[in-house]
């Protein structure tokens, strides 16, 4: 087994001099008078949440009977109540957040019997997703990668919309095809098939990331098929029809219509969460077709004994598939890139799968990050994964 493993962007874990100072919220609390004007000044002076070393102060100025910090960070208490500063409507909670972390959160308030949930109105950082927006706390040292931000020097690729009549899926499948900036028919390109392609484009800046990574020679010029699922809960958890669509319809269609490498080394499947299951189960059904898999926060739920997996009915076919694969793991690609956030519930399952994949002799590259199960976490690991499965020409270029 060959495993490369690391934690992404691990920084210093020592407390900064800022964290040795009295926290800003405590300095406010010590004031003799905390009136609205003082609160206004306090809120205007600080970026919220207030990050002081590893301690992050979440603050809400709201009339309520109770305020909670809602998050999905495994390890933190599920209900994180905020404390009210006496005589005010200012609520706060201080949470230890390790460096380089990224945490999505919301506030939930109770007024009498009425509950309301909302983003932090004083935090401009918002993460978008198909299930709604969240506020984002950037722990000390975390920065949005520069390769995920629009670079005017990077020549943009083109998105071409395709519709493929799929017999396997019994529907017309929509595919958004990314062609790199200097795309030409004389060259041959590797192919990457992305599950939940629309969401990767919409919420993980996939187009910008591809433009930048290709421009910087971090990643090879690649044709990317962003697929759009029908009902992903039917199509993604080990569906034979979906696998047939990808392998027997989509890939041949792409290899006919575009100048692609056409060998396993030039074919890769990618997906996050259920999309990772779809990628793996598709490759399991065609073990000689794909050279690489890029699996982010795979929903690798399994049971060692009994049937209780805690994932709900949607996960039943996933658990059945993963249990079967774990019992008899097979080599389904040459190389597998796996990433997972250490704050997400699936971290244990993803770590467990390393040994399973390793048994097959597939080359593994595993990266963890201090993040959760969300699109920006998957965006932030794209360079690690894409530059590994399809490395760019950097090793050839000496200016």
Partner 1 sequence: MNVTLLGPQRIATTARATVREIMPDGPIAAVNSGWQERESDDAELDDVLGGRMRNLDLHKRWREIHDRDPEYAAAERRLDDLLDEIQALYVVRLQHAMAAIESVRRRREVPAVQEEALADAVASVQSLDQWHLRAVRETRAEFRAAFRPGERPAIADHRAEVATIVQDCAGIVLAGGHVGVLLRTLRVFDLDRVLKAPLIAWSAGAMALAEQVILYHDTAPQGPGQAEVYAEGLAAYRGVLPFPHARRRLRLSDEGHLGLMARRFAPRTCLLLADGVRVNLVDEAPLPIGARTLDPAGGIATVDAA
Residues that bind partner 1 (CB under 8 A): 4, 182, 186, 188, 218, 265, 365, 383-384, 387-388, 391, 393-399
The rounded distance, in Å, linking the Cα atoms of 322 and 245 is 21
β-strand pairing of 90-96 with 55-61: antiparallel
Residues in the chain: 399
Which uninterrupted H or E stretch holds 382? helix 382-389
CA–CA dist 90, 34 (Å, integer): 10
DSSP per-residue codes, 198-216: HHHHHHS-HHHHHHHHHHT
Give buried/exposed letters for 250-262 (b at 16+ CB in 10 A, else e): bbebbbeebebbb
The stretches of 11-167 forming alpha helices (DSSP H) are 17-20, 24-29, 36-45
Of residues 118 and 258, the one with the C-beta less far from partner 1: 258
Distances (CA, A) of 27 to 16, 33, 113: 18, 12, 33
Q: How far is the CB of 192 from partner 1 (least distance, A)?
A: 15
Q: Which is nearer to partner 1, 6 or 31 (CB)?
A: 6
How near is the Cβ of 219 to partner 1 at its closest, in Å?
8
- Please, which residue, 174 or 216, has the CB nearer to partner 1? 216
Tokens of 47: 């970026």
CB of 209 to partner 1, least distance (A): 12
For partner 1, the closer of residues 29 and 188 by Cβ is: 188
List, in sequence order, every residue forming a beta bridge with 171; answer none if it has no partner.
166
Q: Which residue has the tokens 């199509």?
A: 235
CB of 383 to partner 1, least distance (A): 6
Q: Give the nearer residue to partner 1 in terms of CB position, either 57 or 387.
A: 387
Find the shortest distance in angstroms from Cβ 222 to partner 1: 14
Residue corresponding to tokens 């097959």 = 360
Which lies closer to partner 1 via its Cβ, residue 159 or residue 393?
393
CB of 217 to partner 1, least distance (A): 9
> Residue 58, CB half-sphere, CA atoms under 13 Å: how many?
27
Q: How far is CA 67 from the centre of its chain?
A: 28
Q: With respect to partner 1, which residue has the nearer C-beta, 315 or 390?
A: 390
Please tell me the distance from the alpha carbon of residue 85 to that of residue 246, in angstroms, as a whole number.
Answer: 57
If DSSP states are collapsed to H, E and C, what string results for 142-170? CCCCHHHCCCCCCCCCEEEEEEEEECCCC
In whole angstroms, the minimum distance from the beta carbon of 187 to partner 1 comes to 8
Q: Is the four-CA dihedral 45, 47, 49, 50 of positive or negative sign?
A: negative
For partner 1, the closer of residues 162 and 217 by Cβ is 217
Give CA separation, 387 vs 68, 147, 189, 285, in Å: 40, 12, 15, 26
Query: Could you tell me the smallest distance in angstroms from the CB atom of residue 309 to partner 1?
Result: 34
* Cα angle: 358, vertex 101, 116; to 5 degrees: 115
Nearer to partner 1, 54 or 292 (CB): 292
Question: For residue 115, which phi and psi values (nearest 5 degrees)?
Answer: -110, 145
Residue 397 beta carbon to partner 1: minimum distance, rounded to whole angstroms: 5
Considering beta carbons, is residue 113 or 399 the nearer one to partner 1?
Answer: 399
CB of residue 101 to partner 1, shortest distance in Å: 22
Give least dist CB 124 to partner 1, A.
29
Give whichever of 181 and 248 is closer to partner 1, judged by the CB atom: 181
């Amino acid at each position: 087994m060959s495993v490369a493993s690391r934690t992404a962007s691990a920084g210093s874990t020592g407390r900064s001099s800022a964290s040795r100072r009295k926290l800003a919220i405590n300095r406010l609390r010590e004031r003799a008078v905390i009136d609205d004007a003082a609160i206004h000044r306090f809120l205007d002076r600080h970026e919220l949440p207030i990050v002081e070393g590893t301690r992050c102060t979440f603050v809400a100025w709201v009339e309520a009977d109770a305020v909670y910090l809602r998050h999905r960070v495994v390890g933190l208490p599920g209900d994180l109540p905020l404390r009210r500063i006496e005589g005010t409507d200012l609520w706060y909670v201080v949470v230890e957040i390790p460096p380089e972390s990224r945490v999505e959160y919301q506030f939930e308030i109770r007024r009498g019997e009425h509950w309301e949930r909302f983003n932090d109105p004083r935090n401009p950082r918002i993460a978008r997703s198909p299930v709604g927006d969240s506020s984002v706390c950037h722990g000390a040292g975390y920065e949005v990668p520069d390769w995920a931000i629009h670079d005017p020097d990077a020549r943009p690729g083109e998105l071409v919309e395709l519709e493929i009549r799929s017999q396997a899926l019994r529907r017309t499948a929509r595919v958004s095809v990314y062609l790199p900036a200097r795309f030409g028919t004389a060259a041959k390109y590797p192919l990457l098939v992305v599950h939940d392609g629309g969401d990767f484009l919409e919420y993980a800046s996939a187009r910008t990331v591809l433009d930048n990574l290709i421009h910087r020679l971090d990643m090879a010029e690649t044709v990317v098929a962003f697929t759009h699922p029908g009902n992903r809960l039917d199509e993604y958890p080990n569906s034979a029809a979906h696998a047939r669509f990808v392998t027997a319809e989509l890939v041949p269609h792409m290899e006919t219509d575009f100048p692609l490498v056409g060998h396993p080394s030039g074919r890769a499947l990618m997906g996050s969460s259920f999309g990772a299951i779809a990628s793996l189960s598709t490759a399991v059904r065609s073990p000689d077709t794909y050279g690489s898999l890029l699996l982010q926060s795979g929903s690798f739920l399994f049971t060692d004994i009994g049937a209780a997996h805690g994932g709900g009915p949607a996960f039943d076919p996933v658990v059945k598939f993963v249990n079967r694969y774990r019992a008899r793991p097979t080599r389904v690609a040459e190389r597998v890139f796996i990433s997972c956030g250490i704050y997400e519930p699936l971290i244990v399952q993803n770590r467990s799968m390393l040994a399973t994949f390793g048994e097959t002799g597939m080359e593994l590259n595993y990266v963890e990050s201090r993040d959760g199960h969300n699109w920006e976490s998957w965006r932030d690991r794209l360079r690690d994964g894409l530059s590994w499965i399809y490395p760019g020409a950097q090793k050839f270029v000496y200016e």
